[in-house]
Structure 1
Amino acid sequence: MPAGAVRIGVDGVDGVGKTTYARGLAAALTAAGRPAIHVSADGFHHPRTVRYRRGRDSAEGFWLDSYDHDALIANVLAPFGPGGTRRYRTAVHDVGTDEVLDLPWLTAPAGAVVVVDGLFLHRDELVGFWDFSVFLAAPFEVTVPRMAARDGSHPDPTHPTQQRYVQGQRHYFAACEPWKRASVVIDNSNLARPVVADG
């Protein structure tokens, strides 16, 4: 791994295990002597007025309007890039309350690794920022029930209430083929036994 700051993206659909994986990776790097910071892209959502401007059920809106990529770049990815200041913020928005946040700037140590988890991280606006990236893969028949267990949503990926999210992620797959852009693809169908995917 390079001696300077490094940006690692952990991508995958809702419920695939991104946050758990990213936290574990950051902890393992820190334990190995490399300072590492975990940031979730969920702290960089657009306000609801932007997220739902195409309609509450719009799959296109989910994939195109959910995240403020400019804010993620300015507050996390650019500061950890070549010549960056390593001054970063972990969030600019609370998706639960729809509150805009003004958190203090933090400074990472030299050589720090930032591990970012989130949806759509291999889209055109972001893919060039990653020094290394992971795409966690699992079928919707696995990931949607996981989400349901966590947030009380419907466990059937074909249910009408899931179409904004499932179809939005399929739009992303069609546009970006993230498994081809990632440095490595990991089958995370079994959370206890992630496996590097063939090919």
Structure 2
Amino acid sequence: MTLVSTPRLDFLRDLATEILSLYGRGRTMVAIDGTDPIARAAFADDLAAAFAATGHAVSRASLADFERSTEEQTAFGPASPERLFRHRDDFDLLRRALLVPFRVAGATGPADDTLIFDGEFLLRKELRDGWSYSVLTETAADASSTGALIDLAAELKPSGELGDAADTTTDPALGGSPVPDDRAIANRLYRAEVRPRSWATAVVDLANPADPRRLFFDSC
């Protein structure tokens, strides 16, 4: 059965074709980074489906499966945006249980296989050298009114301070009063420290999920 062509499907097919033209042989690991877990995972799932439609072997995994337990995270101090960013995920377990075994062609599947891996903060220094290809997904929440990503580094305040109202959420237990949003602040820390746009192979605008757009930037 021929799938109906849509802008999203066409985009994903083109992206899969691009990646396969570069890394069609051997074991390839493709990172799908982004702050919106639903949009990011859906994009990764659909990209994996586009790979499968070509007949190329594809595997799928998520960083969410390698998070430390709450008890383990407390060893790194009280809950905070910095703890979330630096210590939530167990990179040693990720490498030992998935990344290293996957690299051994033929040990866990076909010699030519592509792993589509999604998660937050995947372009950090501890992980980025392991990806053959990386995609940074951005949604409307990441963009300013002009569609360009806000320069979060310029807005980031010293540790422990809120950047702005976007870094807060409301707590019903406190009568709806604003409280720090650890995830939003952790993402601002990531953007300021890592500048993931500069490391991603491709940056994809998912403000309209039905019509993804590739973003290109002047390197000068």
Aligned-partner SS, 1:27: helix
Aligned-partner SS, 1:166: helix
Matches within 5 A, 1:101-112: 107-112=108-113
Matches within 5 A, 1:129-140: 129-140=130-141
TM-score (norm 2): 0.68
Counterparts in 2 of 1:16 and 1:170: CA distance versus 1, 3 Å:
farther
Aligned-partner SS, 1:71: helix
TM-score (norm 1): 0.75
Preserved CA contact (<8 Å) 2:32 2:117: yes
Preserved CA contact (<8 Å) 2:66 2:89: yes
User: Which whole-Å CA distance do the structure 2 matches of 1:195 and 1:181 have between them?
Assistant: 18
- The residue that corresponds to 2:197 in the other structure is 179
Deviation at 1:157, TM superposition (A): 5.4
Preserved CA contact (<8 Å) 1:16 1:137: no
Aligned-pair identity in percent equals 28
- The residue that corresponds to 1:21 in the other structure is 43
Deviation at 1:158, TM superposition (A): 2.9
Deviation at 1:124, TM superposition (A): 0.6
Deviation at 1:133, TM superposition (A): 0.5
User: Which whole-Å CA distance do the structure 2 matches of 1:41 and 1:157 have between them?
Assistant: 23
Deviation at 1:137, TM superposition (A): 1.1
Amino acid at match of 2:78: G
- The residue that corresponds to 1:65 in the other structure is 87
- Flag the structure with larger Rg: 2
Amino acid at match of 1:75: A
Deviation readout 1:66-104 (Å, 9 max, x if unpaired) = 1001111122222233xx2565xxxxxxxxxxxxxxxxx
Counterparts in 2 of 1:11 and 1:47: CA distance versus 1, 3 Å:
same
- The residue that corresponds to 1:54 in the other structure is 77
Preserved CA contact (<8 Å) 1:133 1:182: yes
User: Which whole-Å CA distance do the structure 2 matches of 1:157 and 1:191 have between them?
Assistant: 24
Amino acid at match of 2:197: W
Deviation at 1:191, TM superposition (A): 1.3
Deviation at 1:118, TM superposition (A): 0.3
Equivalent pairs counted in the alignment come to 164
- The residue that corresponds to 2:163 in the other structure is none
Amino acid at match of 2:168: T
User: Which whole-Å CA distance do the structure 2 matches of 1:130 and 1:46 have between them?
Assistant: 22
- The residue that corresponds to 2:155 in the other structure is none
Preserved CA contact (<8 Å) 2:37 2:119: no
User: Which whole-Å CA distance do the structure 1 matches of 2:142 and 2:180 have between them?
Assistant: 12
Task: Note if 1:115 corresponds to 2:116.
Answer: yes
> Over aligned residue pairs, what C-alpha RMSD do you find?
2.0
- The residue that corresponds to 2:102 in the other structure is 80
